[in-house]
Structure 1
Amino acid sequence: MFLKNKQTGDLIEILNVEELFNPNQDAVSGKDQAGQEEQEKASFEKKELIFPSGESLPRCWMDANYTTN
């Protein structure tokens, strides 16, 4: 799965989607897709990521206290 870094506009390949879906984790493992060389694995704050379309991540992925009531 790919997300986009809000600040740089670079695509980030998410290496573990379970981290992304877990609202108790503030960061996810991924690889920046900028440049032509394979980038090293790094940690990215969820609050700095959006979908490539520009949409924000769902609140239930980021807030462990979120309820739909």
Structure 2
Amino acid sequence: MLLQDKQSGSLVEVLDVADLVNPSTGQIQGRIQAGQEEQDPEDIAKEQLVFPSGEELPRCWVDQNYQRDSKMSA
């Protein structure tokens, strides 16, 4: 899966989608897609990432209290 870095605009290959959708994990292992050679994997904070369309990641992927918080505000 490819996401985009908010600051640089570079595409990032997500190496483990399970970490991406796990709200208790704040970072993922990814490879920045820059140049012709494959880059080394690095830790990337989820808050730095968006979908290539510019849409934010779903709250349930980044906030482990999203269900509790949404019930309290209702």
Look up the match of 1:28.
Answer: 28
Q: Percent identity?
A: 51
Rounded Cα–Cα distance in structure 1 between residues aligned with 2:36 and 2:6: 20
Structure 2 unpaired stretches of 5+: none
Partner of 2:60, secondary structure, is: helix
Normalised TM-score (structure 1): 0.96
Larger % of helix: which? 2
* RMSD over equivalenced CA pairs, Å: 0.8
Rounded Cα–Cα distance in structure 2 between residues aligned with 1:21 and 1:2: 14
- Choose 1 or 2 for highest CA Rg: 2
Rounded Cα–Cα distance in structure 1 between residues aligned with 2:66 and 2:24: 11
Q: 4+ runs of 1 displaced by more than 2 Å?
A: none
Structure 1 unpaired stretches of 5+: none
Structure 1 position 49, deviation (Å): 0.1
Normalised TM-score (structure 2): 0.90
Corresponding pairs, count: 69
